[in-house]
Amino acid sequence: MKIIKRNGTEVPFDIEKILNAIRKANNEVSEGARLTEEQITGIAQKVTALAGDLNRAVNVEEIQDFVENQIMDQKAFSVARKYITYRYTRSLVRQSNTTDAQILTLIECNNEEVKQENSNKNPTVNSVQRDYMAGEVSKDLTRRILLPPDIVEAHDEGILHFHDADYFAQHMHNCDLVNLEDMLQNGTVISGTFIEKPHSFSTACNIATQIIAQVASNQYGGQSISLTHLAPFVDISRKKIRAEVAAELAGVGVFDEEQIAKIAEKRLRDEVKKGIQTIQYQVVTLLTTNGQAPFVTVFMYLGEARSERERGDLAMIIEETLLQRIQGVKNESGVWVTPAFPKLIYVLEEDNIREGSKFWDLTVLAAKCTAKRMVPDYISEKKMLEYKKDKNGEGHCYTCMGCRSFLTPYVDAEGKPKYYGRFNQGVVTINLVDVALSSKGNVLDFWTIFDERLDLCYRALLERHNRLKGTLSDAAPILWQYGALARLKKGETIDKLLYGGYSTISLGFAGLYECVKYMTGKSHTDEEAKPFALAVMQHMNDKCKEWKEKHKIDFSLYGTPLESTTYKFAKALQKRFGIIPGVTDKNYITNSYHVHVSEPIDAFTKLKFESEFQQLSPGGAISYVEVPNMQDNIPAVLAVMQYIYDNIMYAELNTKSDYCQVCGYDGEIAIVEEDNKLLWECPHCKNRDQNKMNVARRTCGYIGSQFWNQGRTQEIRDRVLHL
């Protein structure tokens, strides 16, 4: 059994430390009030058993809570007081310096919790350590100065989660839908250098990657770009290349138009290939200031093209993007593996969803890519046009920002729809499981407590909003002055972009399944329990509407993609409420509205069921189905894609893509348990060195590739197949 110390390091459990701590408190009371040695040993053994029952690494605070409770159970109140006083005194000492020990363990790579906090960040790299060190300072300032104590306390107890406190001290926001079209067509400025409109497709791709890196370094969430904004540059290159070929052939006396066209088209395709290769390889190899590859989503939507010529060129770009992703990227051993980014989204529409439709071959290629590399994910144009209607009643299809954060429909002062150039201000997530358990199953108390917790979230969200108010455009010129989000003047604040629906701010939610399970005794997939689940969702939407009308800020309900927080919430629930079968007996809670990962359900039933809940998560959500290796069954992948088109707005297929660098095994890397800890192991050679394996798993709408904490690892292990 392992213990996680306060500085984040992980050490073997040592019962002697418990015995010594109790003895120390015991020796400070009068002889008549003391515990016997037998009682002390019994307490230590009971604490050991309680810690073992959690089936995970236990932190020091939990051990000390167990000790306190066991001393009290022995009626040794004087000893308990001494033990509690000692804990309090040590806590005061620690509060005088809250960051040193944490930062030192980060530098020495001894902090187990931070090591597994983000599955796409390598904590041994200097740039990641630098980001984490800055984050510790930001979190300390946030806790002590910037946030009200009750919100900090609620965050610590797992009642809510105040996301990204490690960036809150700065005036930074969450996700972006980058206006790449404006920046490429009208020019932009990067690091003080004016970048004019590119004169070729390959140059446009190169500039796009620079924009992606700059944007990622000035916010902390995901961003999205559309390939449609690159499509006009294909024809610019076509004309340029054609002129060059014509001149070359004329020089040798050849004036054959057919020959000119053939050579020009070949060179054009070579340029498209190189351009897309630039995007893929630069995104994978770039490290932004937060120490990871840019979290970028690439949107592929034929319906955005403004002419048939542009649509054909866009199809060519999409095809090349899919072909290169199918190939993958080489790891350090030279083996083709699955990269985490860029994330790809392919829009299913009438011109590509049925066999015989104009772009059906492109959809088949997308299916092959999904089967091998887990992307693209799929947006149904049909369902999105139904769900995302503006105030004029017109539906719109557009990409999320990063993995799932969706803007709400918006029209500008001229009545035109606008999505590119908008952003999300931030997220605060409510723990629905905690609401249910705090009510003790009483329905009336549930709704009362629910409103109290939502009010906490509301005030926390206003803290996020107010932190951004007054931010000068000079803080991030690439975003606010040079077109990624706006073209504001130097010295101008971003305040006007925070109101009126231009940007959103997200009320996140997690654990709907466990909440409903506790309150009704049934899964929310049960017809008797489903109405309660939908009522919970509707209530949160009603609150967002109420807050929006009051402040003219676009509050929106968001299905939170918990990564490390799923473990934090689970531990907090176990600490406060103990182990409750089917509710707190796992080291994770279920993301957003999802069906529990271990619940048997087929792919089509799951997607149909979750579509109702996705519609009630307008600020962002994604559904998935877990599938086996589908590379030899592409018709089945296409069948799921066609079902997505007709039934749900946004969904993905979760496959596996692993490789063992020791023995060359390219099947699924297994999860095994040893000493209450889950470990990744090659089933062929038993390699457990995470530095010598490539594991890619979908965890939160995006692919993770640097491994996960124990809670998320358990969730991955518990997943059942839906197909």
Q: What is the pLDDT of residues 281-293, one digit of tens each?
A: 888 887 665 666 7
CA–CA separation, 720 vs 303, rounded Å?
A: 35
Q: Check pLDDT > 70 for residue 93.
A: no
401 classed as catalytic? yes
558 classed as catalytic? yes
Among candidate residues 424, 523, 623, 657, the one labeled active-site is: 424
Q: Check pLDDT > 80 for residue 100.
A: no
Give the mean pLDDT of 637-660.
Answer: 95
CA–CA separation, 436 vs 448, rounded Å?
A: 11
187 classed as catalytic? no
Q: Check pLDDT > 60 for residue 96.
A: no
CB-side exposure of 98: number of CA atoms within 13 Å?
A: 12
Give the mean pLDDT of 668-690.
Answer: 93
Strand partners, 226: 299
3-state secondary structure of 315: helix
Read off the pLDDT band of 541 (50, 70, 90): very high
How many of the other CB atoms lie within 10 Å of CB of 626?
Answer: 18
- Ranking 17-26, 43-52, 116-125, 616-625 by mean pLDDT, the lowest is 116-125
Give the mean pLDDT of 511-540.
Answer: 98
CA–CA separation, 262 vs 451, rounded Å?
A: 67
320 classed as catalytic? no
CA–CA separation, 198 vs 202, rounded Å?
A: 9
What's phi and psi for 628, nearest 5 deg? -80, -170
Among candidate residues 8, 421, 483, 701, the one labeled active-site is: 701
Task: Provide the pLDDT for residue 124.
Answer: 65
pLDDT in tens, 543-585: 999 999 999 999 999 999 888 889 999 999 999 999 999 999 9
User: How far is residue 691 CA from its own chain's centroid?
Assistant: 23
Among candidate residues 205, 316, 403, 660, the one labeled active-site is: 403
Residue 499, CA distances (Å) to 169, 224, 399, 418, 457 in order: 21, 22, 21, 15, 19
Among candidate residues 563, 610, 652, 681, the one labeled active-site is: 563
Among candidate residues 167, 420, 558, 702, the one labeled active-site is: 558
403 classed as catalytic? yes
Query: Exposure string (b/e) for 272-287, b if CB count within 10 Å is 16 or more?
Result: beebbebbbebbeebb
Q: Check pLDDT > 80 for residue 110.
A: no
649 classed as catalytic? no
424 classed as catalytic? yes
User: How far is residue 128 CA from its own chain's centroid?
Assistant: 18
% of the chain residues with pLDDT over 70:
93
% of the chain residues with pLDDT over 90:
72
Strands 377-380 and 650-654, how do they pair? antiparallel
301 classed as catalytic? no
Task: Provide the pLDDT for residue 54.
Answer: 83
Among candidate residues 55, 158, 175, 693, the one labeled active-site is: 175
Q: Check pLDDT > 70 for residue 595.
A: yes
Among candidate residues 7, 111, 119, 174, the one labeled active-site is: 174
Read off the pLDDT band of 711 (50, 70, 90): confident
Task: Provide the pLDDT for residue 689.
Answer: 93
405 classed as catalytic? yes
Q: Check pLDDT > 60 for residue 116.
A: no
Closest CA to 624 of 651, 593, 663, 594: 651
pLDDT in tens, 605-619: 999 999 999 999 999
CA–CA separation, 678 vs 368, rounded Å?
A: 32
- Residue 707 vs residue 160, higher pLDDT: 160
Among candidate residues 369, 401, 540, 700, the one labeled active-site is: 401
Q: Check pLDDT > 60 for residue 217.
A: yes
Among candidate residues 26, 122, 237, 405, the one labeled active-site is: 405
Closest CA to 668 of 685, 686, 656: 656
